[in-house]
Chains A and B, each alone.
Chain A
C-alpha cells in the first residue's frame, strides 16, 4: 500500500475531499475548465470510491458509454482525472475542515494543513450499522455491512477473496442487498435467507428475481429481532408479519443498505447539516449549485443524500465542477438571496437542494425527493398559498422523484417554497 509520494501542496484552488465518482468527476471538470490547481484527497490507499470494491456490473453506462465492473470503472475515472491534470493524493485523511477554507489532514507522515479557495466535499455514503438500527442480541463476529463484505471479497489482493462466513442471512432488500447476493456468489458464500421488514422488496423488480434465481428464501414483513452467538454468529431471531417468532441457524448477518451520508466533516465542522429526524437528508444543506452554508464549501454525490447510483453521483460531480469554476470566476448568483425549500408531509424522507439561489439558472436542474413509504397523491410545490407546480405521483420508498426547477423558475416571490403531497381521502 504505497502512500502518496507526491508532496501535499500547502494551497490549492480547489481541494476535493473524497475521490469517488463525484469527486473525480468534479476534479476532471475543473481541469477542463482551466482551473490551475485541483487536489483530490482520498483516505483509502487508492482513489475510486465505493466502486473499487463492487466487483460486479453495471457501472459506466452514462459516463464511459460501456458496461464495466466497479473496479475497472474506478480505475478509468482515476486515469481520466490524472490525464486531465488532477493531483490525486490517496492515503490522505481530512480530519477536519474550518472556515478559510482550511483543511486539517493526516497522512503516514503525520498531520498537515492545506488551504484552498474552494472545497468540495464528496465523501459519499455508508450503510447504517447494526447498532444504529438497534438490533439487539449478542455481539459476535460475522455481522458485517455489504461494504465490509465487498472489501473482504474484492480487495483481498494476492490472498484472494476472504470470507467472514459461509451461510449468512441478508438483512434488507435494497439494490445493494442484491449486490450482496452477487458478492456472496462470487466468493462461494451461500446466503440462507433474505429478510425485509417491508411488505415488498425495496429495490426495483429486476433485482427481485435474484433470490428466487439462487434459491434464497425471502421473508417479507419480517424483522430481525436479535443476533445470537458467543464468538461467531450462531443464529438469528425473526418476527414475521403475523407476529410469530422463530430462530434460524446462520453463521453471519449482512446488514445491508439503509444508507446514511458520511457527513462527519460537516457535522463536526461549521457547516449546516440537514438533520434526518425531521425530513432531512443527513447531508449538508446546499443550494442548487451544491453550495453549502459557508459559500466557499460545496458538496456533491451521495454525501448529499442516500443513495444514488455511481452514474448519478458522477453527473452531480460534473455539475459541481462547473459550479466551482463559476464560483472561482465570480459568476454564481449571490448565496445570500436564497429561498428555503421545506417539506410538510411525513412520508417525505428528504428533499434537496434545501435552498435555492435566485435567479434559477444553472446548477442542478431538479429538486430531488425521497419517500419513506409508498404514497399516491398530488405532489405540489407552493409559495405561500400559491401552487407553483404540481403532479400526480405514485411513489415508492427509496426511489428517485424529481421536480423540474424549470417548472418553478421565475414564479417564486416569497422566501420559502413548500413541498407537500395531497393524498386522496
Chain B
C-alpha cells in the first residue's frame, strides 16, 4: 500500500483530474517503461491520458533493475508477440532518440560458446536470428573473437556477432517517453494505487488511493502487479505473475575498457544467462541471476550470488579480478506462466492488458505502445493528433556524452565519482517529474551510483535535498 502523498502537479499545468470531474480518454496504470511508452504513444495520437503509478516515483518496479541493452530480438521466439514488439520498439527508438537526446552506445554483441554443447547450438541460434530479421549475424572463430576482444578468457570456443545489439540508458529513455507525454498534455499521478473500478458502458470509474479517476478506456501496464490489476478491474486475469529476480554486479569504470561488445552466453530455455555488458554510465555489469520467487517487491541481493556473479565475470574476463566492484542491485522481471507477452483487449469495456513482459521491456516498450494504439483503434475511440508535437530533450546522463560538469554555470560538482553537478541535482528536484527520494534522484542524475557509494557526497546531498524528499536522507528529526 502506498504511504506517500500524491503528486503536486508540475509547474504551470493545471490538474483537472484532481477533483475527479475530468473524463480522460485513457488511464494508463503503471509508470514503468511500458506505461511511459504507452502514455507517450497515445498522447501523440491525440488522446488525453492520465498515468497512475502506485510507487512514489516512476520506474520503481521491474523497470528499475535491468541490463540496459537495446535488443534486436535475434533470440526471441520467431512469430512471437515479443519478437514483433522488440523489432518495432528497436526501430522506433533509433528513430526518435536524437530528438529526445537519448544515447546509443553502438557496442554490438557477441554470443559466445564456452562448451562443445553450446558450440553445437550456434548454427540454430543464427538461423533463428535470421528468421527474426536479424540477418547480419556472422559466425566467428575463437581467434577472430579474441582479436576483437583480447581480454576474453582464451577457453572460449566460438561465437557469432550480432552487430546491432546496442546499449542504451534504462532510466532516461522511459523518463523521456513520459516527459514527452506530459509536454503534450498527459497527466501523471504518482503515489496513486488503483484499488478497483467499474465500467458503465461509457466510462471507467476507478477508485484509487488518491480519489476517483474517470476515463473512457484503461490500459493495464502494471508490470509486477499486472494480474492483480486485471483482477481488481475485470475480476480475472489470463496470467499469473511469478517474479524472476535478477541480481547484477557493477564493476568500476576501469572495467569498461575490457569489453567493447556486449558478451552474451548461449541462452537456455529459461533465461538469457549471465551477460557482460558496458553501461551507458561508463561501468561494466555482470548479471543477471534468474531466481523465481513469490514476492513482488523483494529485490534483495545476497552475498553468495553476488560473489558467484563476480567469479563468473572473472571466468569470462579474467582482468576483472583487478577491478573493484562499484555496486550491486537486483531487478524483478514480471514473468508469467506463459513464455510470450500477454497482450489482450476487451473492446466491450475498452480495457487492454499488457502483461508478462518478462525481460525485454526496455527494448520492446515503444513497439508495445504501437500494439496498444492499434488495439485501441479497434474500439470506438477516435483521437485527433495535435497539429504540433513537443519534443522535450532530456539531460545527458550517459558517460559518453558531454555532461554539465564540462559546461559553465554548472554550480560545481557534488557527486565526485559520477561527476554530477549542483545544476543537474536542482533540475531533478524541480523538473516536471521531480525526484522525491534518493532512488529517484539517482535515476535522474547518477548521484551516489559511483565507486564510493556516497562516502564523499551524502553529507552534501543531505543538505541539498533537505525538505525535498518524502523520506529525508537525514535530519535533526530523523533520530527522534
Choice from B310, B324, B412, B453 contacting A130 with Cβ under 8 Å = B453
Whether A163 lies near B455 (C-beta < 8 A) is no
CA–CA, A131 and B251, complex, Å: 10
Within B450-470, which residues are at the interface with A (CB < 8 Å)? 451-456, 458-460, 462-463, 466
The interface residues of chain A lying within 8 Å CB-to-CB of B252 are: 267
Whether B299 lies near A129 (C-beta < 8 A) is no
> Closest residue of chain A to B323, judged by CB?
A267
Partner-contacting stretch, out of A136-144, A314-322, A347-355, A395-403: A136-144
Within B410-450, which residues are at the interface with A (CB < 8 Å)? 410-413, 416-417, 419, 422, 437-438
Whole-angstrom distance between the Cβ of B293 and the nearest chain A Cβ? 14
Query: Does A337 make an interface contact (CB < 8 A)?
Result: no
Whether A110 lies near B407 (C-beta < 8 A) is yes
Question: With A131-B325, A139-B329 given, is the CB distance from A53 to B459 under 8 Å?
Answer: yes
Whether A107 lies near B253 (C-beta < 8 A) is no
> Closest residue of chain B to A147, judged by CB?
B455
**Contact code string A154-167 (vs B, CB < 8 Å = 1, else 0):** 01110111111110
Question: With A138-B300, A151-B458, A165-B478 given, is the CB distance from A91 to B306 under 8 Å?
Answer: no
Main secondary structure of the interface of A (DSSP, over half): mixed
CA–CA, A228 and B480, complex, Å: 20
Whether A95 lies near B405 (C-beta < 8 A) is yes
> Closest residue of chain A to B301, judged by CB?
A136
Query: Does A1 make an interface contact (CB < 8 A)?
Result: yes
> Closest residue of chain B to A260, judged by CB?
B324
Choice from A127, A147, A164, A166 contacting B480 with Cβ under 8 Å = A166
CA–CA, A150 and B456, complex, Å: 10
> Closest residue of chain B to A43, judged by CB?
B416
The interface residues of chain A lying within 8 Å CB-to-CB of B302 are: 136-137, 226
> Closest residue of chain A to B4, judged by CB?
A231
Whether A268 lies near B325 (C-beta < 8 A) is no
Query: Does B374 make an interface contact (CB < 8 A)?
Result: no
CA–CA, A189 and B476, complex, Å: 11
The interface residues of chain B lying within 8 Å CB-to-CB of A165 are: 478-479
CA–CA, A277 and B408, complex, Å: 40
Query: Does B326 make an interface contact (CB < 8 A)?
Result: yes
Whole-angstrom distance between the Cβ of B105 and the nearest chain A Cβ? 18
> Closest residue of chain A to B404, judged by CB?
A110
Question: With A108-B410, A144-B458 given, is the CB distance from A131 to B328 under 8 Å?
Answer: yes
Whether A159 lies near B410 (C-beta < 8 A) is no
Query: Does B321 make an interface contact (CB < 8 A)?
Result: yes
Whole-angstrom distance between the Cβ of A147 and the nearest chain B Cβ? 5
Query: Does B231 make an interface contact (CB < 8 A)?
Result: no
Whether A268 lies near B253 (C-beta < 8 A) is yes
> Closest residue of chain B to A148, judged by CB?
B458
The interface residues of chain A lying within 8 Å CB-to-CB of B474 are: 152, 162-164
Whether A267 lies near B412 (C-beta < 8 A) is no
Whole-angstrom distance between the Cβ of B416 and the nearest chain A Cβ? 6
Whether B479 lies near A226 (C-beta < 8 A) is no
The interface residues of chain B lying within 8 Å CB-to-CB of A37 are: none
16 contacts between A and B (CB under 8 A): A1-B412, A45-B412, A129-B455, A132-B453, A135-B303, A136-B306, A145-B454, A151-B458, A151-B460, A152-B458, A155-B460, A166-B479, A187-B479, A226-B300, A267-B254, A275-B322
Give 11 new A-B contacts, CB below 8 A, not counting A131-B326, A144-B454, A188-B479. Answer: A93-B405, A106-B405, A111-B406, A129-B327, A131-B250, A141-B471, A151-B458, A152-B474, A162-B475, A164-B473, A262-B452
Q: What 9 A-B pairs come out closest when comparing CB atoms? A: A151-B459, A129-B453, A136-B302, A148-B458, A163-B479, A166-B479, A162-B474, A164-B474, A110-B408
